[in-house]
Amino acid sequence: MGRVKIARKSTFIDMTAMSDVTVLLLTFFMLTSTFLQKEPTTVITPASVSTEKVQETNVLQVLVSPKGQVWITMNNDTSAQWSNNNMRVALLDKVTEIYNESHRNKISFTPQQKQTFSKLGVFGVPLAQMGEFLNLADEPEGITKMDQWLAGEDNNPNHITGIPITKENSDESPNEFQMWIKAARQAGNDNLSQAMKDGAGVAIKADQNTSFDIIHMVMDNLQTIKQNKFTLLTALKAGGE
């Protein structure tokens, strides 16, 4: 048998078209993406037929874990006066003021601590421990330590995770969760106060398997301080009505 000579062909594949497509895809993802926020607990929101879109600015998001822990995320205007950073400092000042009215152990924060707080996406530790929490930022790997504290994974029994919230509550002696909400209303940002009055300014984000008991506690706390309108974050239910 004679050998059949196979002509050697170059295996060079032209990748230009491929590159074009990937760049287009990349552009699409870069433009449409909003980054996932780091959250101390992962929740799956329940499905609902409601099609109202979530408000992205001027909103306090109350994250509720199935265990009943509560964290707050605040998203503000893009305006310079009430940027996220400025607003958070104003909020911390206000909540300190409200807290000191009713507690004998006064708290205060240094400018350095306020600076750290202004960069926090989500917060949720008792005010009495807030100073210690904010000081962590100056330590090596402080951000990781703070995240672990927020998620309750730092194995330190003295560190309490979540904003203190109680079932029994009153308008006159509010618990810390109510203080934060009140502080947000009174911090001087009219846009946020208005949004909270309309109900779009407070959003509850909770897992679908959270017991009613816990949801009711959060709602009841809001009702007591006359925050009667609020929104529940839900996912879109397929095949709605």
Partner 1 sequence: MAEVQQSSGGDGKKGHQKKMAIRVDFTPMVDMNMLLITFFMLCTTMIKSQTLTIALPTNEKVQNEENMSQASADDAVTIILDAKKKPGPVAGTLVVDSVNGNVVNEVYYYFGKPGGDNGMFGAGGAILSENNNLQKSEFLTDEVNSVGDRSARGIRQIIQDRNKDVLKEIAEIKKKLADGEFGSLETKADREAAMEKYNEAASAIRKNENLKKPVIIIKSTPEASYRGLVDVLDEMQINSISKYQIDNLTDADLVMLDDYRKHHQE
Contacts with partner 1 by CB under 8 A lie at 12, 14-19, 22-23, 25-26, 29-30, 32-36, 45-55, 199-200, 203, 205-213, 215-216, 219-220, 223-224, 226, 228-237, 239, 241
Under a CB-based contact definition with an 8 Å cutoff, are residues 186 and 93 in contact?
Answer: no
> Is the CB of 50 or the CB of 83 nearer to partner 1?
50
Strand order of the β-sheet with 202-206 is: 122-123, 70-75, 59-64, 202-206
> Is the CB of 141 or the CB of 168 nearer to partner 1?
168
Residue in the structure block whose two tokens are 């994250």? 63
Tell me the torsion sign for CA atoms 167, 170, 175, 177: positive
The least distance separating partner 1 from the CB of residue 101, rounded to whole angstroms, comes to: 21
Residue in the structure block whose two tokens are 């962590």? 136
Type of residue found at 42: T
> Is the CB of 73 or the CB of 113 nearer to partner 1?
73
The least distance separating partner 1 from the CB of residue 24, rounded to whole angstroms, comes to: 10
The least distance separating partner 1 from the CB of residue 76, rounded to whole angstroms, comes to: 18
> Is the CB of 6 or the CB of 29 nearer to partner 1?
29
The least distance separating partner 1 from the CB of residue 177, rounded to whole angstroms, comes to: 15
- Cα angle value 80/190/177 (rounded, 5°): 100
